[in-house]
Amino acid sequence: MANELTQLKLHVRTADQTRRAELALAPDATGAEIIQAAVDNWALPADTDYALVNVTTGKALAPDATLAASGVRPGDELEVQPVLVAGCKSA
């Protein structure tokens, strides 16, 4: 019960919004852990790199920062975004 109380109920989605979920996450979960769970559960392309953005507050979450340290609040919506490169071949 205490564990449930300390968990954050959040919405998580992909950037193209084809995948959405409501999750209860521990405040000490990191952005990297949430991204990995999204990649695994939604079978997102594993050869792509991802970042996490709190679209409710308009702030990106650092990969190693916890939800609590990033100021994420219950009900916030997190978006898993690809980190894009491409353009041309270079060094």
60 is a site residue for other proteins (CB under 8 A): yes
2 is a site residue for other proteins (CB under 8 A): no
Beta partners for residue 10, in sequence order? 23
Chain-centroid distance of CA 7 in Å reads: 15
In the complex, minimum distance from the CB of residue 26 to other proteins, in angstroms, rounded to a whole number: 20
87 is a site residue for other proteins (CB under 8 A): yes
Please select the residue that binds other proteins; options are 2, 5, 43, 86, rule is CB under 8 A.
86
| Cα Dmax for the chain | 54
In the complex, minimum distance from the CB of residue 60 to other proteins, in angstroms, rounded to a whole number: 4
| Alpha-carbon dihedral sign for residues 72, 74, 75, 79 | positive
Question: Radius of gyration of the chain from Cα atoms?
Answer: 14
Tell me the three state secondary structure of residue 82: strand
Chain residues that interact with other proteins, rule: CB under 8 A: 15-17, 32, 35, 47, 49-51, 53-55, 58-60, 62-65, 79, 81-91
